[in-house]
Amino acid sequence: MKALITALAISAAAVAAPLLQGCSVARDQQTAGSYVDDTALTTRVKAKFAEDKTVSAMSIHVETLKGVVQLSGFAKSAEERSKAEELARSVSGVVAVRNDIALRG
């Protein structure tokens, strides 16, 4: 019985340890506040894509880390690719844009 209680205590400590390390998210890459800011930026970029008729919001993926927006996926034309980058850069709070969108052709 004592061994079971010890095993449960060790398991609980292993699960709780990451939660007690503060506000770090994803291997100390950013704080919880920064993560929330990045999520908001990603959402605003995707909303810009959805509003624009040139850009397919479903074919282009958006990820943000510390204000840097990374675009990936496929575009039907060079115009769509450059328009997606332009729209992402126009969002307030975006620090930089990495355009890794491939042309489908």
Q: How far apart are CA 52 and CA 4, in angstroms?
A: 59
Residue 59 is predicted with a pLDDT of: 94
Q: How far apart are CA 94 and CA 79, in angstroms?
A: 21
Q: How far apart are CA 74 and CA 102, in angstroms?
A: 5
Residue 71 is predicted with a pLDDT of: 98
CATH annotation of 25-103:
3.30.1340
Q: Which of 90, 78, 70 is nearest to 54 (CA)?
A: 78
The predicted model scores a pTM of 0.69
Q: Is residue 9's pLDDT more than 90?
A: no
Please provide the average confidence, as pLDDT, over all residues in the chain.
Answer: 81
Q: pLDDT tens for residues 22-62? A: 444 444 566 777 677 899 999 999 999 999 999 999 999 99
Write down the domain spans for the chain.
25-103
H/E/C letters for each residue in 13-58? HHHHHHHHHCCEECCCCEEHHHHHHHHHHHHHHHHHHHHCCCCCCC
Residue 17 is predicted with a pLDDT of: 44
Q: Is residue 13's pLDDT more than 60?
A: no
Portion of the chain with pLDDT greater than 90, in percent: 62
Residue 86 is predicted with a pLDDT of: 98
Residue 37 is predicted with a pLDDT of: 84
